[in-house]
Structure 1
């Protein structure tokens, strides 16, 4: 029995979710987004399990190099591109593709003396106002990239939606119209759709889709869970009950006496805390799955422990497994109880947690 929290990663569920992406976007190639340690699931192991993806995307070059070191040979795209010209030979040597989103990157490519050519994705700011060239810059960038000797012919065109996770918003259709009008007549392959757009905006799928969160079985929509979209949760985070305490009505539990017992009850202590990545600001009442039922968080989250109200007739025993999120308890619900999003919970998991990969 592990003394540490355990994150079980179900690789069959991961593959199921990739197949679900292909059902939703059957005419598109899949650029699987694995940034931030594959959303906390383990970069190389997830890439190995997603061997049916057409290519992978990461944010930064160190993530791409970790994939290459781990034996991944499929195309890898740097979503933030390169930071300085000195990185270009490294990109070429490792067969990495780069996004171009600013003038300095374009100039570096134009001035580069490389032994080969790089595959480039040109990012257009259609309304996100984060990365990407202005629409007014498109014709100039497009022409210069086609003329650049360091760039492989056949650049790809991309943009990113800011409100695709709000299906009622008109911003996504506005961005799609800006992008479509701008590149009219161009034959290059396109990529716009993230997880939310794959689910809610099929007209945005184009030649490449970019699923990230949904590959891990999680809904990108704040009021839904992944199973509503026929996705399967990939991570199951669990720990163990390490203490039982009888608490009388009116007594308080935890730092600051943040929770007060309404009646005589039993409080259970579970070996997980913000030092493991469990959300520090989870509210009283946040559910935990224990012995076939939900029990509520009772008191503030500590570095190494949480306390839950087991009820006055509790039959739970030391060593019983508690599930913090997983198939039994949707991570979307836990995130809502901590006033955050599932992305943050996944990315905050620390090295104190043991990972187990289920084939």
Structure 2
């Protein structure tokens, strides 16, 4: 028997979440963001599950795009960070990619290169994130330069990224919106602004295109859930089994450093999953876990290959009992990855993208 840890990937849930994003913005087109190996879910299977729904996909780099093209994915693919050196433009042209430009050298490279056909290009504006993009005044100048090269640039769009669209306090989000709305109206430019939180919570940010990411995988990015985010379905279920049981007397410790000590005679289940698999070592005592579909909690520090859970009040549980670290148990009980992330003082993105290759992905195919 192989090690019982597996990441189950529900491709039908992925399609559901994409359709939710699409339907929230019926006047927009929706690009599916599948960078970072589809947030740890497997870029190629996820792309195949979405290619009949999504008019475009988005990744971070040429390397990620090439994997999809090699797998036969033919829908448009947007490079969210554009090229990293001018020589990559030949691949952009050959692979039929769309690209972002956010730096002066990228603009000069694009205008110096003669593609076989014009490259769809999105101009990144720094509206307040202060990460990538041009200040609005400079973006206007570059917009007109790119527009003046129709043999090299096609389907020019403006794009920007929100710093606080997930937050309850909307002031900074609204400031960024004003900046981009004014620039878009001044240039008569189509626009792409909405990430996952803006797709879920800010209809005014819905543009010609939206680009949801983490919501596609069932994670709620909002500080406070709304009706839309509560409709998301988890795509990944990280599941394992109990491989040993320990009986502890009152006062006995568990694991490295003895952080957790039994306050009563206790039963501890040892689970085949650890930080060597990508489960976060920062998980505190009390981090929720499902055992046979019932909630219990981590007791003691996470080890490289194992973690330990308190099963004292579960007399029916023993070696071989099913464990869900996040996702959906067989009895339908859900454990949100967002709840687990809060106990690890992190976000769902790091948990999902951190699951390592030694954890097999097992795909539940989407229904036709």
TM-score by length of 1: 0.97
Q: How many equivalent residue pairs?
A: 359
Unpaired segments ≥5 residues, structure 2: 329-333
* 2:81 corresponds to: 80
Q: Does 2:20 align with 1:20?
A: yes
8 Å CA contact 1:112, 1:150 repeated in 2: no
* 1:187 corresponds to: 188
Distance 1:240 1:226, change over 3 A: farther
1:3 Cα shift? 1.1
* 1:101 corresponds to: 102
Query: 2: distance between equivalents of 1:121 and 1:37?
Result: 22
Query: 1: distance between equivalents of 2:83 and 2:229?
Result: 38
Query: 2: distance between equivalents of 1:313 and 1:159?
Result: 50
8 Å CA contact 1:226, 1:233 repeated in 2: no
Q: What do residues 146-190 of structure 1 show as CA deviations (whole Å, max 9, x unaligned)?
A: 123552333111111000010323111110100111222433321
Query: 2: distance between equivalents of 1:68 and 1:345?
Result: 27
Distance 1:228 1:162, change over 3 A: closer
Q: Does 2:347 align with 1:341?
A: yes
Query: 2: distance between equivalents of 1:267 and 1:13?
Result: 33
Distance 1:226 1:307, change over 3 A: farther
* 1:89 corresponds to: 90
- SS of equivalent to 1:295: strand
- SS of equivalent to 1:282: coil
Query: 1: distance between equivalents of 2:305 and 2:68?
Result: 32
Distance 1:289 1:33, change over 3 A: same
1:226 Cα shift? 9.2
- SS of equivalent to 2:37: helix
Query: 2: distance between equivalents of 1:144 and 1:66?
Result: 32
Q: Does 2:149 align with 1:148?
A: yes
Q: What do residues 228-276 of structure 1 show as CA deviations (whole Å, max 9, x unaligned)?
A: 5311111110011000000000000100111100000100000000000
* 1:351 corresponds to: 357
Query: 2: distance between equivalents of 1:255 and 1:208?
Result: 49
Distance 1:227 1:181, change over 3 A: closer
Query: 2: distance between equivalents of 1:46 and 1:153?
Result: 28
Query: 1: distance between equivalents of 2:350 and 2:224?
Result: 17
8 Å CA contact 2:215, 2:232 repeated in 1: yes
8 Å CA contact 2:140, 2:187 repeated in 1: no
Query: 2: distance between equivalents of 1:226 and 1:267?
Result: 38
1:313 Cα shift? 5.5
Query: 2: distance between equivalents of 1:253 and 1:227?
Result: 41
Deviates more, 1:304-313 or 1:170-179: 304-313
* 1:243 corresponds to: 244
8 Å CA contact 1:264, 1:312 repeated in 2: no
Q: What do residues 293-324 of structure 1 show as CA deviations (whole Å, max 9, x unaligned)?
A: 11110100000000011115522121111000
Q: Does 2:168 align with 1:167?
A: yes
Deviates more, 1:94-103 or 1:227-236: 227-236
8 Å CA contact 1:119, 1:155 repeated in 2: yes
- SS of equivalent to 1:193: coil
- SS of equivalent to 1:17: helix
Deviates more, 1:224-233 or 1:326-335: 224-233
1:143 Cα shift? 1.3
Which residue of 315, 323, 336 maps to 1:330?
Answer: 336
1:222 Cα shift? 3.8
Query: 2: distance between equivalents of 1:252 and 1:49?
Result: 46
- SS of equivalent to 2:320: coil
1:201 Cα shift? 0.7
- SS of equivalent to 1:156: strand
- SS of equivalent to 2:308: strand
TM-score by length of 2: 0.94
* 2:47 corresponds to: 47
8 Å CA contact 1:265, 1:313 repeated in 2: no
Q: What do you get for the CA RMSD once the two structures are aligned?
A: 1.5
